[in-house]
Chain A
Amino acid sequence: MNKSIALTIVSAVAIVALIFLALSINKHKVEQQAMNALALNSLADIKKFESRSSEWGKYYPRQYDTYRQTRQSDKIEDVLKKDPALPTMWAGYGFSKDYNGPRGHYYMVEDNINSLRTGAPVDDKTGPMPTACWTCKSADVPRYMNEKSELDFFTGKWARLGDEIVNPVGCADCHDNETMALTITRPYLIRAMDNEGSLPYADATYQDKRSLVCAQCHSEYYFKPTEWTDPEGNEQVAKVVTFPWDNGFTVEAMETYYDDREFKDWTHKISKTPMLKAQHPGYEIYMTGAHGLNNVACVDCHMPYMREGGVKYSSHNVASPLDNMANSCMNCHRGTEKELRETVERKLERKNELNAMATSVISRAHLEAGKAWELGATEDEMAEILTDIRHAQWRWDYSIASHGSFFHAPEETLRILGSAINKGQDARLKLRIVLAKYDAADYVVPDFSTKEKAQKLAGLPYEKLVDDKMKFQNGLRKEWVESGKQKGLYDPKAWENIEFKTSYSK
């Protein structure tokens, strides 16, 4: 009798264990089949330019889930607070109002709307910014360009498209809906590549595209005024996002490009300099570094391949590769994670050191130039100085505005920072002569050691900007959401669990 019971127990244990094993095996097999099927593109049924990423996620759950994990990057880092030289350097320009470190792709539309830079429009014709500010924020942009036209998209004020641009950057920005092939959805990148000439778009390989889809947004640009006639026959001026690549990819080539066109983003409020704002030239700087020169694509490190059971897929949680070194760096590099991490940290320290020097020099140059004007300096006396300040700040901005330039191309970043400091010091040297001429050789710049003091020096009505913004948040913005929902554009999954986080909310 005891024998029978023992045998039964042993068998039962074996059965339970085997069932678990069988379940595990079957699960892996299902994954494998699903992956093979997707590789053959037999399942997906997604509309062209579908801007709701959750629709793509039905067929590509792993890619979609990892894309949604970009919301883990949710810290607001007030960069103006960290370096109060910045509001002085951007006096008279939007960036002196509000400038935060980047958050994950998940928050792009949210952060664009929340920024004090986009202002507080009360209807579709007010506000400081043009529609171009949406260009890189949303998968609705290629959809809208396709429905209307590129020039239509780039026409008018930012607020005009508040109920059209409702979902953050997502699947449709980089993928073809049928084949999932990488695709360029922003025509201005194709024009820029063809104008520059070293890699016409038609010659781009698959590996090139694994960086180019990112370059659609992570590049230097300006808004080029372009006249056109709309379908109703009205003359319009579009502000078209344009990459200044005609003379090449270097900081000097782009500086010449802007100088030749006498282009300025704004006139500096204190120094009266015709300024340039560099906008994250990530792709251009990456190309000059070790990884870029070896044709390691953005995606190789920022979207590494992952394993899940029998399934291999690329992570769409675009973030720093240092968060996931095993799947990115360690595929190619020998040595340990710790060694590599320390190497990267040293690179960052070096950049921070020169960056602090540059902002200190350039912010002081602005204030000293302001003083020179105040004392009655002439345009002739100031002309060369202003050119130096323009070039110094452009170079400084160019070298640090993109994510991880210190890592992508440390030599190039430090070289540009060096030239920025040099130009800034040139300006200050010349300024001392002018100041001496007007009996102010011992002039000391006023205190701008905090964000508040610096913004006050820049003449910024901060409290009013915040008040107006909150009125906008509770007014027009709510109307946009309602209208976007009625149009059937709004993807609720793209807005789950978003907490209101800004540098100005109390």
Chain B
Amino acid sequence: MEKNNILKCIAIGSVITAFGVFGYVVNASNMVSYLSEDPKVCINCHVMNTQYATWQHSSHRERATCVQCHLPQASTVDKMIAKARDGFNHSVAMTLRTYEHNTIRISEDASRRIQGSCISCHKELVSQMIESNKSYQTDPDGPLVERRCWDCHRLTSHGSTRSLTTTPNNLGVKELYNTSR
């Protein structure tokens, strides 16, 4: 009986500790901030400074935030699922440092989502294009349909190139500068 009580106490203690550590991780990783739509959340890590800086100097700055293009907007459930999946992939890459020697490139899935976002905002402009597109398509699997908006509109959102090399001074992202002073 006594032994059982001790084990119970240990179990309760360890559960409380686990929650405590979890709470600490929640706090340290700014976990809650990821529920928001503020673009600054995307530069919680330095890795996205380049993308943030190039977006901040683009025409879309006034109209669309990161998540408005990168996540599906139609359904909240889809949006949260996409966010969770991307977030998980990013965390794994960051923690295991698997991304360091590669140029960061968009995944096929995310690329489809963004195409959807382009169309959804600019639908009045492009609806006729999408319709006409089909009549140009001789081969149903041909390349035309695979074209993304930004294959031609290359400067949109992130400038002509969006690599580490092309934004050498992006340490100067204003928000970071101010917080570290």
Please give, as numbers and ranges, the residues of chain B lying within 8 Å of A35 by CB-CB distance. Answer: 46, 171
**Residue in A5, A37, A310 whose CB lies within 8 Å of B180:** A37
Q: Choose among A1, A300, A332 the residue that contacts B4 (Cβ–Cβ < 8 A).
A: A1
- Cβ A4 vs Cβ B7 within 8 A: yes
- CB contact between B100 and one of A36, A306, A328 (< 8 Å): that residue: A306
Report B48 CB to chain A, min CB distance, Å.
10
> What distance in Å separates the Cβ of A276 from its nearest Cβ neighbour in chain B?
37
User: For the complex, is B103 an interface residue (Cβ under 8 Å from A)?
Assistant: yes
Instruction: Tell me which of A9-17, A439-447, A490-498 binds B.
Output: A9-17
Is there contact, CB below 8 Å, between A22 and B14?
A: no
Q: Does A331 contact B (CB under 8 A)?
A: yes
Q: What is the CA–CA distance of A247 and B84 in the complex, to the nearest angstrom?
A: 63
Please determine whether B103 and A330 come into contact, CB atoms closer than 8 angstroms: yes
B122 near A: Cβ within 8 Å?
Answer: no
Residue B117 is within 8 A (CB to CB) of chain A in the complex: no
Q: Decide if B49 touches A312 in the complex (CB within 8 Å).
A: yes
Are A22's CB and B46's CB within 8 A? no
Distance in angstroms from A145 CB to nearest chain B CB is 29
Q: Mark A88-128, 1 if CB is under 8 A from B, else 0.
A: 00000000000000000000000000000000000000000
| A36 contacts B171, C-beta separation under 8 Å | yes
Q: Is A36 touching B176 in the complex (CB atoms < 8 A)?
A: yes
B162 to chain A, nearest CB (A): 9
> What sequence of 0s and 1s flags, for each residue 141-166 of chain A, a beta carbon within 8 Å of any chain B beta carbon?
00000000000000000000000000
Q: Counting CB contacts under 8 A, is B156 at the interface?
A: no
Minimum distance in angstroms from A491 CB to a CB of chain B: 29
Tell whether, in the assembled complex, residue A18 and residue B46 are in contact, meaning their CB atoms are under 8 Å apart: no
Interface set, chain A 313-329, CB cutoff 8 A to B: 326-328
Given A22-B24, A307-B164, A326-B101, A312 and B18 touching (CB < 8 A)? Answer: no
Please state if A19 and B21 are interface contacts (CB–CB under 8 Å). Answer: yes
Q: Are A11 and B11 in contact (CB under 8 A)?
A: yes
A361 to B13 Cα, complex, angstroms: 87
* Contact residues of A between 375 and 418, Cβ < 8 Å to B: none
A8 contacts B180, C-beta separation under 8 Å: no
Answer whether residue A311 sits at the interface, using C-beta atoms and an 8 A cutoff. Answer: yes
Q: A4-B7, A8-B10 are in contact. Are A310 and B45 (CB under 8 A)?
A: yes
B22 within 8 Å of A by Cβ?
Answer: yes
- Contacts of B3 on A, CB cut-off 8 Å? 1
Name B45's contact: one of A7, A12, A28 (CB within 8 Å): A28
The reply to whether B46 and A15 form a contact with Cβ atoms under 8 Å apart is no
Cβ of A33 within 8 Å of any chain B Cβ, yes or no, is yes
List of A residues within 8 angstroms of B21 by Cβ: 14-15, 18-19, 22
Q: Which residues of B contact A39 (CB under 8 A)?
A: 171-172, 177, 180
Query: Which residues B100-121 have CB closer than 8 A to chain A?
Result: 100-103
B163 near A4 with CB under 8 A, answer no
For residue A160, give the distance in angstroms from its CB to the closest CB of chain B.
41
Within 8 A of B (CB), among A26-57: 26, 28-29, 31-33, 35-37, 39-40
Judging by beta carbons under 8 Å apart, are B180 and A33 in contact?
Answer: yes
CA distance in complex: A5, B11 (Å): 7
Taking CB atoms, residues of chain B closer than 8 Å to A25 are 25, 28-29
A197 contacts chain B at the CB level, 8 A cutoff: no
Check if A22 sits within 8 Å of B166, measured CB to CB: no
- Please, how many angstroms separate the alpha-carbon atoms of A330 and B163 in the complex? 9
| Chain B nearest Cβ from A137, distance in angstroms | 28
CA distance A82 to B100 in the complex (A): 39
A312 to B164, CA, bound (A): 8
Contact of B46 among A12, A32, A40, A304 (CB under 8 A): A32
List CB contacts (< 8 Å) of B130-181 with chain A. Answer: 161, 163-166, 168, 171-172, 176-177, 179-181
Does residue B81 face the partner (Cβ distance < 8 Å to A)? no
A309 within 8 A of B: yes
Q: Are A29's CB and B28's CB within 8 A?
A: yes
Enumerate chain A residues within 8 angstroms of B88, measured Cβ to Cβ. none
Majority secondary structure of chain B interface residues (helix, strand, loop or mixed)? helix
With contact pairs A32-B46, A39-B171 given, residues A7 and B165 touching in the complex (Cβ less than 8 Å): no
The residues of B that contact A312 with a CB separation of less than 8 Å are: 46, 49, 164, 171
**A305 interface residue, CB < 8 Å from B?**
yes
Given A1-B7, A4-B10, A7-B11, answer yes or no on A311-B46 (Cβ-Cβ < 8 Å). Answer: yes
Contact A331 to B161, CB < 8 A, known contacts A26-B28, A307-B100: yes
> Is A308 positioned at the interface, with any CB of B under 8 Å from its CB?
yes
Q: Is A256 an interface residue (CB 8 A)?
A: no
* A24 contacts B by Cβ under 8 Å: yes
Q: Is the CB of B100 within 8 A of A11?
A: no
A326 CB to closest chain B CB (Å) equals 6
Does A309 lie within 8 Å of B97, measured CB to CB?
Answer: yes
Given contacts A1-B4, A28-B45, A40-B181, contact A11 B17 (CB under 8 A): yes
Within 8 A of B (CB), among A182-225: none
Instruction: List residues of chain B with CB within 8 A of the CB of A28.
Output: 45, 94
Q: By the criterion CB–CB under 8 Å, are A8 and B28 in contact?
A: no
Q: How far is the CA of A306 from the CA of B164 in the complex (A)?
A: 8
From B101, B166, B168, B180, A327 is in contact (CB under 8 Å) with: B101
Q: A4 and B103 in contact (CB under 8 A), knowing A25-B28, A36-B176, A40-B180?
A: no
Closest to A19 in B: B21
A11 touches B181 (CB 8 A): no
Question: Is A253 at the interface (CB under 8 A from chain B)?
Answer: no
Known A-B contacts A306-B100, A332-B161; A18 and B45 likewise in contact (beta carbons under 8 Å): no
Q: Are A308 and B100 in contact (CB under 8 A)?
A: yes
Q: Is the CB of B14 within 8 A of A11?
A: yes
A76 CB within 8 Å of chain B? no
Q: Which residue of chain B lies nearest to A39 when distances are taken between CB atoms in the complex?
A: B171
In the complex formed, the residue of A with least CB distance to B22 is A18
Q: Is the C-beta of A293 less than 8 angstroms from some C-beta in chain B?
A: no
A-B contact pairs, 10 of them (CB 8 A): A1-B7, A4-B4, A8-B10, A11-B15, A15-B17, A22-B25, A36-B179, A36-B180, A305-B163, A305-B168
Closest 8 CB pairs of A and B: A11-B14, A36-B180, A305-B164, A331-B163, A310-B46, A4-B7, A4-B11, A7-B11
* Given A306-B164, A308-B100, A309-B100, 11 more pairs with CB closer than 8 A: A4-B11, A8-B10, A8-B11, A22-B28, A32-B46, A36-B171, A304-B165, A305-B163, A310-B45, A310-B47, A330-B103
